[in-house]
Amino acid sequence: MTNFLQTLFNNTTTRRGVGAIIIFVILWHIGSQLDEWTGYDLLGIGLVPPPGDVFAAFLEVIPLHGYWMSWVASFGRVITGFLVAMVIGIPFGLLLAVNRYFRGVFFPPFEILRPIPPLAWVPASLIFWPTNEMSIAFVTFLGAFFTIVINVLGGARSIDISYLRAAQSMGASQLDLFWKIVLPGTLPSIFTGAAVGMGITWEVVLAAEMISGGGTQGGGWPWLFYLELLYGRFLGTNSCRNDFHWHCRLSIVKRDKKDRLLLHALATFILTRTRTQIKNLKHSEFESPEKSHGNNKIKKEGDKRSAFQKSQQFFSFLARREQVLR
């Protein structure tokens, strides 16, 4: 072990990396404490909790059931969306590249749909898919799908034509051309597409979870957990306590900041938006899943409303909204 560490730290790159992180943490600490020390707040960094507090809070979160459940839930959604995007996207991109007629038919609609941001699909996918879980997976799928297809298509189209010509004059059939030249030649782009797509999936999944109310079906991980536990913790205000029956054991943000009002307003805003989902959830759910079993069942049934009912509700909601705005 010591040997391993020694070889690791003999490496200049490792030492530089570790040094950079240490310097970053020190700067962070100084930035967060500067206000207290000198009375001068550098660019609002004073609002940021110091690294020590964050680390302590992190240690407190680690043993919680909800923390790990949040990982599992988000990971499942990302993997589902990503795998489906790979399975559909790679053959689709290759077909677009090799077949002129297929490209003629499918590329224009693809290009019309592509610029629509995945998050803009959230309301539509909430309506169209029977469960929240599927809606979230669909949005993550979209996040990866377009990137993968564009990469595969671009990669396959940029294969040097002389490889194809050489193979052709040596007597390779169309099928051989595909398996021996086009597919191996596209592999690098497939991996690039997958790597970029995976990144986008993670960006999209959290936002989709937030907007859809966290997929209450699966227990609300991780968004409700995040809202209740972490937001409550970080803000440590009375309103949090009242809304969630949550005892804020640790308040990280300093209470007497003038910006507290702003944060307060932000929190209230987000909380009101998700209140409908939260109302049915008891605090206990986050720490012991067994007790909440009955509760979950009710919500599952609630989620199984038909797409039609959902859209009805959505449109009546929009209509009411319109009236209010007028």
Partner 1 sequence: MSKSYGEEWQSDDVLRDVSVDFPAGELTVIVGPSGCGKSTLVNLLAGFESPDTGQVLVDGTPITGPAKDRMVVFQETALIPWQTTVENVTFGPKMRGDKKGAALQKEAEDLLIKVGLGEFMNKFPIQLSGGMQRRAELARALINEPTVMLMDEPFRGLDAMSRSLMQEFFLELFEENQKTNIFVTSEIDEAIFLADNLVILSNKPTTVQTVIKIDLPRPRNYKMLTTAKAFKYKRQAMDLLHGEAMKSFAVLK
Question: ∠ CA 57-240-75 to the nearest 5 degrees?
Answer: 55
Beta strands in 159-302 (DSSP E): none
The least distance separating partner 1 from the CB of residue 183, rounded to whole angstroms, comes to 10
Least Å distance, CB 97 to partner 1, is 17
Distance CA 248, CA 257 (A): 18
Residue 206 CB, shortest distance to partner 1, in Å, is 38
Of 116 and 166, the one with the shorter C-beta distance to partner 1 is: 166
H or E segment at 183?
A: helix 183-211
Contact present, 92 and 216 (Cβ < 8 Å): no
Residue 170 Cβ vs partner 1, minimum distance, rounded to whole Å: 3
The closest of 81, 82, 72, 199 to 135, measured between CA atoms, is: 81
The answer to whether residues 171 and 115 touch, using CB atoms and an 8 Å cutoff, is no
Q: Give the 3-state secondary structure of residue 26.
A: helix
When the beta carbons of 58 and 179 are compared against partner 1, the nearer one is: 179
Interface contacts to partner 1, rule CB under 8 A: 160, 162-163, 165-173, 176, 180-181, 184-185
Taking the least distance from each CB to partner 1, the nearer of 182 and 211 is: 182
We find the least distance from the C-beta atom of residue 171 to partner 1, in angstroms, to be 4
Q: How far is CA 233 from the centre of its chain?
A: 22
In this complex, which beta carbon is closest to partner 1, that of residue 170 or of residue 324? 170
155 or 215: CB nearest partner 1: 155
